[in-house]
Each structure stands twice: as structure tokens, then as C-alpha cells.
Amino acid sequence: MSEGGPKPSSSVKLVLLGEAAVGKSSLVLRFVNDDFQENKEPTIGAAFLTQKCNLPNRTIKFEIWDTAGQERFASLAPMYYRNAQSALVVYDLTKASSLTKAKHWVAELQRQASPGIVIALVGNKLDLTTQSTGLEGSMGGLSLSAAANSGADGDDDEEEEDARQVTTAEAKGYAEEEGLLFYETSAKTGHNVSEVFTAIANAIPESTLKTRGGPGTGRGGAGGSSGDTFGGTGGVNLSAAGETNKDACAC
């Protein structure tokens, strides 16, 4: 989908953080190779991958640091998020505790990572919930998440009951508060995956890019402070999902 003329290209360091087995590596695998593996080996330390993302007026080359999720690896994280311009903090929609962990990561990043880092909060494993658009989740309200919490562990996903433990409203509310991008994704189906990366690419302020791009501004008003960004992309999440889909990125 890339156009003929050479566009300015710049690389962006992106780090993935989140609890173990929420699907960080799978998201990357989907984004980079458009692939999915049921049993992905846990990441030891961190994995490094790259992928380009074509925006209308520039090309972003993501240098992706995919980190290990287990709690005790947390002390290694600073090594990986050092100098990162963007971060994907991932939680598992079907596991309430993973959102808590995600919040910890957000707090860590906000205080310790480079100032102005663009953070996206991503709820993964949308395929395990009964609704896959992520919109209805907000209607379930708190009672839904409470019920899921008290229920059996998250492994009962294939039951007729919804495995979702984190409502869209809850996570979105939090993201809004903190000025984060927010998406619910499925690495398995590919739902919303490239959108996340595109949104991040758009949200990176041009001033922080290594290679200066042209004078044009980012699409759709993106590119301001992270607070502004949220307003713009909150809509993209739901309405623009179909349009932006795969073509946004050169996967």
C-alpha cells in the first residue's frame, strides 16, 4: 500500500511489558509475521524483532523489545525500556490480576522511562470472550467482572460463559485517566493488532523521531501529547477498525 515516492523513515523503539502469558510475544509475532503459535516458548530475557509500519506521510520502523513476563524478570526491564519511545503494556482480558500488573508497569514507565513515552494499554485474548468487538463489554459493568473473578480460574474459557474478567469500561476508564492509548486485541485472530501499532506510530511526536520527517503532520490530529492522542484513537478502536485494518502496516 506504500506509495511511490520515498517517504521519510525513522525507527522507533517499542517495548512490550506485561504479566507472563498474556500474549506479548504472540502480539509481536502477529504484527511481524502475521502468524500465531499456540505454544509459544516463554521469552527469556527479551526478544528483539523489527517491523515497518507505513503511515501516509512517513514510515516507522519499529524496533520491538519483547520482554519476559514473569515477575522476577521485572528487575531486568529497565535494561529493555531504556530509551524506548513507546511501550505496549499488555494484560489478559480473561485475567483480572493481569490488569493490576499492567497498571504497575504503566506507573513504572511513567516514572522511569523516557519522558514523553507513548504507552498503549492492550487487553489481549479477545477471542476468548464472547463478544469480540469489545464494545459490549462495557455494558456488563462491574457485576460481570466480579462474577468472573469469583468464578473458577481463567482456563475455563471454552465454557459457554464469558471468560472475560476485565470489562472494557474498566480498562478504558483507567487508560483515559492515565492518558494511554487503549485497545482490545486478539493475537490469535489478528483483531486490532496492527491498529495498535499504527496508533502508536501516529502518536509518536515527530520531534522525538530520529530522522526528521516532512513538514506534514500526523493523520487525524494524532501526534500531540499522549493526552490528546487518547481522544483521537478511542474512536479508531471501535469505528475505524475495519478501514484501517491491514493496509495501515506493511506486514
Q: Which residues bind another protein (CB under 8 A)?
A: 20-21, 38-46, 48, 50, 63, 68-70, 72-76, 78-80, 82-83, 104, 107-108, 111-112
Contact 169, 184 (CB under 8 A): no
The count of other CB atoms within 10 Å of the CB of residue 71 is: 11
Residue 11 or 245 having the CB closest to another protein: 11
How far, in Å, CA of 215 to CA of 222, rounded?
Answer: 14
Min separation Cβ 224 and another protein, Å: 27
Min separation Cβ 109 and another protein, Å: 11
- Which cell numbers hold the place of 9? 523513515
**What is the Rg, in whole angstroms, of the alpha carbon atoms belonging to the chain?**
17
Residue 96 or 222 having the CB closest to another protein: 96
Residue 42 or 235 having the CB closest to another protein: 42
- Left, alpha or beta for 13 (phi > 0: left; psi -120 to 50: alpha)? beta
Residue 75 or 150 having the CB closest to another protein: 75
Min separation Cβ 157 and another protein, Å: 14
User: What are the phi and psi torsion angles at 249 (to 5°)?
Assistant: -120, 150
How far, in Å, CA of 161 to CA of 90, rounded?
Answer: 23
- Which cell numbers hold the place of 240? 475505524
Residue 149 or 239 having the CB closest to another protein: 149
Residue 125 or 237 having the CB closest to another protein: 125
**217: which DSSP letter?**
P
Min separation Cβ 234 and another protein, Å: 26
> What SS3 state is found at 38?
coil
Min separation Cβ 68 and another protein, Å: 6
> What SS3 state is found at 90?
strand
Min separation Cβ 23 and another protein, Å: 12
Min separation Cβ 106 and another protein, Å: 10
How far, in Å, CA of 243 to CA of 167, rounded?
Answer: 25
CA proximity to 154, closest of 122, 129, 186: 129
Residue 81 or 183 having the CB closest to another protein: 81
Parallel/antiparallel/unpaired status of strands 9-18 and 118-124: unpaired
